[in-house]
Amino acid sequence: MDADITVDARFKSCPGPLISLSDAVSKARPAQVVKLLATDPAAPSDVKEWSASVGHTLLDVQKLGDVYEIYVEVAE
């Protein structure tokens, strides 16, 4: 999946990945896709809950080795 913005939050512990993602999303334009790279095992569930609560769309979560690739579409 292609992303407009990539956020590298590997090796950050909770809530670091979510804070990094939130910061990037706040600067993104509507409908852009932000990819979060994270190694924190809580990141997928944290992003799922956060996305639902703020209105963004969680598009996909993939695990490649020890790294999660989490794709979020910024709300209109």
pLDDT in tens, 20-71: 999 999 999 999 999 999 999 999 999 999 999 999 999 999 999 999 999 9
Alpha-carbon gap, residue 53 to 63, rounded angstroms: 23
Confidence of residue 14 (pLDDT cuts 50, 70, 90): confident
Looking at this protein, which amino acid is placed at residue 51? S
- Domains contained in the chain, CATH given: 5-73 (3.30.110.40)
Q: Indicate the pTM of the whole model.
A: 0.95
Structure tokens at 69: 């690739």
Q: 9 — phi, psi (to 5°)?
A: -115, 25
